Amino acid sequence: MTILVTGASGFIGRNLLMSLAIAGNKTIGVVRFGSLNQICHDSIGIKQIGALNGSTDWSGFFGNVSSVVHCAAVAHGKLGDAISVNVEGTLNLAQQAASAGVQRFVFISSIGVNGNINTRPFTTEDTPAPAEPYAQSKWEAERGLQQLCQHTGMELVIIRPPLVYGPGAPGNFGSLVRIVEKGLPLPLGAVHNKRSLVALDNLVDLIITCIDHPSAANQLFLVSDGEDLSTSGLLRRVAKAMGKPSRLIPVPAVLLQLGATVLGKKAVGQRLLGSLQVDISSTRERLDWTPPVSVDEGLRRCFETQGH
């Protein structure tokens, strides 16, 4: 049987496809028309779609497909755009997949569904509290998928990752890497928060586990590396992995948050200074799964092919 992966030109989807193919799985990667296609493997078929929304026609995509892994999403922008792609596009895909006889739908959500800051680690039992449009859309998609799968019998797996890092990672991690690379001094030496991250290889390993693991059916999983880092600790580990010095100045976190708020960057300050921990004990127990890559190894892999 075949595994269909959406968002195949993206950071997670591209790496997931290659890992599946190397392991001998037959796969179909779905990309948008005009997307840069860097996927090349004999067992990977590529199909293209136009816009991903509630009216996308998926007919002809599901021949011999047993599982769908839905990685495609809009991560930034207005709530309306996020609803169109992340909610309506997801539910439309799932409905057509279920009608075509797909057995399992793996949805890559976000830990932002739980919230963007905490004082104790998030668990799967916590009441969702999404604070940003992207997370709100993911939560709405989760609820819609649960209702759809209850009615159709298609199995659903939901995975909520925190910040994902790896070679060429976009977003906040990419910005952090660029700052460390420039050797700029940062006033974050006294930040002692705790944040959960997940190496790309660990996330991909969990996704592959969830594609056919019997105990994954109709379950929600949180994922991380299993080791939480402070912002200052992460910067030091990144600098070490890059072979660069870490120039951290110890400024009290309360002053940094005040400054960020005054400058209208309160949310940025919270991401740098606040804690966001994830409890993956239920994931470990239900799936007998352990993150295969340590934080240091995950960071090393970020830079081993980039000339650092």
Using alpha carbons only, give the angle 94, 63, 27 rounded to the nearest 5 degrees.
85
The total of other beta-carbon atoms located within 10 Å of residue 78's CB is: 10
Q: Count Cβ atoms within 10 A of the Cβ of residue 10 and give its class: 0-12 exposed, 13-18 middle, 19 or more buried.
A: buried
In sequence order, the 6+-apart residues with CB closer than 8 A to the CB of 125 are none
In this structure, the strands spanning 65-70 and 2-6 are: parallel
> Do residues 149 and 218 lie in contact, with contact meaning Cβ atoms separated by under 8 Å?
yes
Q: Count Cβ atoms within 10 A of the Cβ of residue 73 and give its class: 0-12 exposed, 13-18 middle, 19 or more buried.
A: buried
Q: How many angstroms separate the CA atoms of 308 and 294, rounded?
A: 19
Which pairs count as long-range contacts for 257-262, CB under 8 Å and 24+ apart, including other chains? none
CA 61 to the chain's CA centroid: 24
> Which of the residues 134, 165, 173, 289 is marked catalytic?
134
Tell me the backbone φ, ψ of residue 219, rounded to 5 degrees.
-125, 160
Give catalytic status of residue 165 as yes or no. Answer: no
Catalytic residues: 134
